[in-house]
Amino acid sequence: RALGRPNIARHHHRVKAVDQPSYFGLGGGVLLQVARLLGKLQPLVEAGGKLAHEAAHWLGMCHLKSGDAATAEGVFVQALKDFPKSSFAGDMRLGLADAQLALDKFEEAAALFADASAVNPDDYQAPSFQSMATQMRKIDSRKMVSTLGVPIG
């Protein structure tokens, strides 16, 4: 199997209406919805207040689902700095892991998935998170070996 993203079922997609068009064949209408959401969420995050932490989470998810993983990563990193005790912090860490996965930052994603599994071992998704972490580490080590010119067997 060629190096790249693992063939693993996604784990925590909570926004069904705003999903990656390239993966699900959704048209421009969904992208228009994402653009409208981004326009409404960004001011809420910037203004601070009671809803800022939730708006930051959904802003990151909108960027992620629209295919802008780099911006999503930045949003999640900043949101976790600004709102470390948010009720959305766990979901923001998983969003960050997904963004890093999309950016081929496998080791960083692995650490976040492993952390999610360790923090909530009784969560029904914990085994999936641990599996994701294991697979990310395998992919990252294969890429490193491949970069060094050593054949992968």
Q: Each residue of 5-53: pLDDT tens digit?
A: 443 334 443 333 333 334 334 445 665 677 777 888 888 888 888 889 9
Residue 69's pLDDT is: 94
| Model pLDDT for residues 71-93, shown as the tens digit of each residue | 999 999 999 999 998 989 888 99
Is a pLDDT exceeding 50 seen at residue 95? yes
Highest mean pLDDT among 60-69, 111-120, 133-142: 60-69
Give dist(CA 96, CA 55) in Å, integer.
15
Q: Which of the 8 DSSP states describes residue 62?
A: H
Q: Using pLDDT thresholds of 50, 70 and 90, give the confidence band for residue 99.
A: very high
Please give the mean pLDDT across all residues of the chain.
74
Dihedral sign from CA coordinates of 14, 19, 65, 30: negative
pLDDT cut 70: percent of the chain above it: 69
Higher pLDDT, 123 or 39: 39
Q: Which of the 8 DSSP states describes residue 148?
A: T
> How many other CB atoms are found less than 10 A from the CB of residue 26?
16
Residue 50's pLDDT is: 87
